[in-house]
């Protein structure tokens, strides 16, 4: 018996299975496809966490629930998003055990499908941007709540454009965006935020930005918090993660900042969903973020991806791949998916990805867009989570690219 029928598997876990099925093992190439940093957290940080692991106090090793050991969020947000929460009394923060498991809680935090709620607007359902890293739609599906798609178009460089918002009778309770984006690594401007904020205020919509790549900015991007803080009536939240900022994916740490009611409600729901992060990692990172070395080391990680992206993008474009947008942030490169591989027409980006992997040791992640005229745009995402600065590796990639011919 299956209650969930054929609902799709997590896309990154699907790509992992496909690759391991072919190569029989996890490799750097696979981790680069799924966007997992290949480096480890800085030694300074690991030493601090090691110290906290050895700490004898029960308090360190017990449930942390929603507790902040003292300005963890404030310092993380100051360093990751260059935003000083302390200056705004109406805002609140929350320690997160990473971002991923918080996104499914967002619909519940907005009362999911409950109707006729007192003292709130009669809004309904949710909106997510597409293409984007998404869990909102997946979870809305699980709980049979309405979730609509807000398309970001490659022809508009994946900018937030209110004109493309889905039309519906009632405004949504919540809009979730991902800026800088994944898979389209484009930032957001102050003007885009102001327009979106004013729309959300007018229609009493909660706004969330997933800022997983906020510390890895190579182009231009303004974090939501820097703009939203000036609107005390806005219900909003921005979530940040240590995973990519500090190559600490497995540590499961992050933070949220936003309007007090929204954060308090997420804390309430979260309080019934998890028991907080791993105490020594939380305390070690809290200590780390107090020191300026955190900013220096995060900047070094950002610079590393910027240098790698420059080399990698050239390797791909020299081989004929066409970029779908610039890589303003993070470590992804998004390309229009070639329609031909070695003279053979490709049905779609899934086929291209599979056959590419079978020909050369390279795999990506397919994404799509539905254009206003109904046609589909197909993309393939690769990453610089692999050392393109290592000349031997870069040469290997150039040689692999020579083995294939692509066409559009
Ligand atoms: C946009 C985005 N949000 C969230 C996450 C997950 O973050 P975390 O490791 O904090 O759960 C990722 C990871 O790939 C991501 O790309």
Sheet holding 91-96, edge to edge: 91-96, 254-259, 236-241, 206-210, 174-178, 126-130, 147-151
pLDDT in tens, 230-282: 999 999 999 999 999 999 999 999 999 999 999 999 999 999 999 999 999 99
For the Cβ of 37 lying below 6 angstroms from any atom of ligand 1, the answer is no
pLDDT in tens, 113-136: 999 999 999 999 999 999 999 999
Query: Is-above-0.85 flag for pTM?
Result: yes
Both tokens assigned to 124 = 């309904």
For the Cβ of 210 lying below 6 angstroms from any atom of ligand 1, the answer is yes
**Angle between helices 279-290 and 43-53 in degrees, nearest 10:** 130
Please determine, for residue 142, whether its predicted confidence score (pLDDT) is greater than 90: yes
Residue owning the nearest CA to atom 12 of ligand 1 = 212
For the Cβ of 254 lying below 6 angstroms from any atom of ligand 1, the answer is yes
Residue 5 binned pLDDT confidence (cut-offs 50, 70, 90):
confident
Pocket test for ligand 1, best of 94, 131, 137, 182 (most atoms within 8 A of CB): 182
Fold of 11-40+295-407: 3.90.1150
Q: For the chain, what percent of residues have pLDDT higher than 90?
A: 93
Please determine, for residue 304, whether its predicted confidence score (pLDDT) is greater than 90: yes
> Which ligand 1 atom minimizes the distance to the CA of 242?
10
Sequence ranges of the domains in the chain: 11-40+295-407, 43-294
* Res 216: pLDDT: 98
Residue 76: partners with Cβ closer than 8 Å, 6 or more residues away: 240, 242, 254, 255, 285, 289
Are 244 and 212 within 8 A, CB to CB?
yes
Please determine, for residue 4, whether its predicted confidence score (pLDDT) is greater than 90: no
> Which ligand 1 atom minimizes the distance to the CA of 133?
1
Average pLDDT, whole number, for the chain?
A: 96
| 31/264 Cα distance (integer angstroms) | 35
Q: 88 C-alpha to center of ligand 1: Å?
A: 27
| 150/167 Cα distance (integer angstroms) | 10
For the Cβ of 99 lying below 6 angstroms from any atom of ligand 1, the answer is yes
CATH of 43-294, one of 3.30.420.10, 3.40.190.80, 3.40.640.10, 3.90.226.10: 3.40.640.10
pLDDT in tens, 7-36: 888 898 999 999 999 999 998 889 889 899
| 49/263 Cα distance (integer angstroms) | 27
């Amino acid at each position: 018996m299956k209650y969930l029928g054929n609902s799709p598997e997590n896309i990154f876990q699907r790509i992992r299975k496909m690759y391991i099925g072919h190569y029989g093992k996890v490799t750097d190439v696979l981790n680069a496809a799924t966007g997992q940093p290949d480096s480890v957290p800085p030694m300074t940080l690991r030493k601090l966490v090691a110290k906290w692991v050895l700490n004898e106090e029960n308090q360190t090793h017990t449930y942390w629930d929603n507790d902040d050991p003292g300005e963890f969020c404030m310092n993380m947000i100051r360093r990751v998003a260059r935003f000083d929460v302390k200056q705004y009394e109406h805002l609140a923060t929350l320690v997160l055990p990473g971002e991923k498991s918080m996104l499914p809680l967002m619909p519940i935090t907005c009362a999911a499908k409950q109707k006729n709620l007192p003292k709130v607007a009669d809004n309904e359902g949710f909106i997510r941007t597409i293409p984007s890293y998404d869990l909102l739609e997946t979870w809305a599906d699980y709980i049979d709540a309405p979730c609509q798609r807000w398309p970001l178009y490659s022809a508009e460089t994946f900018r937030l454009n209110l004109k493309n918002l889905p039309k519906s009778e009632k405004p949504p309770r919540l809009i979730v965006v991902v800026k800088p984006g994944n898979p389209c690594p484009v930032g957001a401007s102050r003007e885009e935020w102001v327009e979106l904020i004013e729309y959300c205020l007018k229609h009493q919509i909660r706004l969330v930005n997933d800022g997983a790549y906020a510390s890895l900015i190579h182009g231009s991007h303004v974090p939501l918090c820097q703009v939203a803080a000036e609107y005390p009536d806005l219900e909003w939240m921005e979530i940040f993660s240590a995973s990519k900022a500090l190559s600490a994916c497995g540590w499961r740490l992050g933070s949220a900042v936003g309007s007090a009611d929204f954060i308090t409600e997420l804390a309430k729901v979260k309080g019934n969903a998890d028991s907080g992060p791993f105490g020594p990692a939380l305390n070690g990172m809290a200590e780390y973020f107090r020191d300026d070395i955190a900013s220096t080391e995060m900047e070094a990680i950002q610079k590393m991806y910027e240098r790698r992206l420059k080399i990698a993008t050239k390797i791909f474009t020299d081989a004929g791949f066409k970029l779908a947008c610039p890589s303003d942030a993070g470590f992804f490169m998004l390309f229009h998916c070639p329609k031909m591989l070695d003279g053979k027409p490709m049905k779609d980006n899934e086929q291209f990805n599979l056959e590419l992997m079978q020909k050369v040791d390279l795999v990506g992640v397919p994404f799509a867009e539905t254009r206003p005229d109904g046609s589909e745009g197909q993309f393939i995402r690769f990453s610089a989570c692999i050392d393109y600065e290592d000349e031997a590796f870069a040469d290997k990639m150039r040689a692999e690219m020579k083995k294939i011919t692509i066409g559009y």
